[in-house]
Amino acid sequence: MKIFVSSDHAGFSKKNELIEKLEQSKKHNEVYDMGPYILDPDDDYPVYASKVGMAVSENHNSMGILVCKSGEGMAIAANKIKGIRAVSAASEKLAALSRQDNDSNVLSLSAKELTSKEIFDIVSIWLGTPFSALARHKRRIEEISQLEEGKLL
């Protein structure tokens, strides 16, 4: 599985730590750093969220991880891309539920509120949790896809 990772300046150091841990874990052999590559306090998080969102939308069965100050801004930006179901999860339980019920494909995390260990633990659970594929969840995801197409429910 391909995992695309990005951040803004507030999540820069934790993004780099996360990538290093993912590469060391040997479970995830295709980890892609989508930037930023240097710390720039004037970077704009929508740019980096869109890089991950586009990569996930173009690579079937891939996942994206974003790290910013709150975890919220990048999730909002990523969700503007068709096919992206980005969530901001502050716990392992919420991360697992977002995969089981919503088949989330982008995870956005708070660099301010979470430690590096908490981020890695949440990511590990999120990556390891499969979508339940229950009929009601499939139906709801299809309804989200219809909303993306501008169809009112």
Sequence spans of domains, the chain? 2-148
Q: Which of 22-26, 43-47, 90-94 bottoms out in mean pLDDT, i.e. has the lowest? A: 22-26
Which fold, 2-148? Ribose 5-phosphate Isomerase B; Chain: A, (3.40.1400)
**In the predicted model, is pLDDT for residue 153 greater than 80?**
no
Backbone angles phi, psi at 69, to 5 degrees: -55, -50
pTM listed for this prediction: 0.96
**In the predicted model, is pLDDT for residue 28 greater than 90?**
no
Q: Assign 27 a pLDDT band (cuts: 50, 70, 90).
A: confident
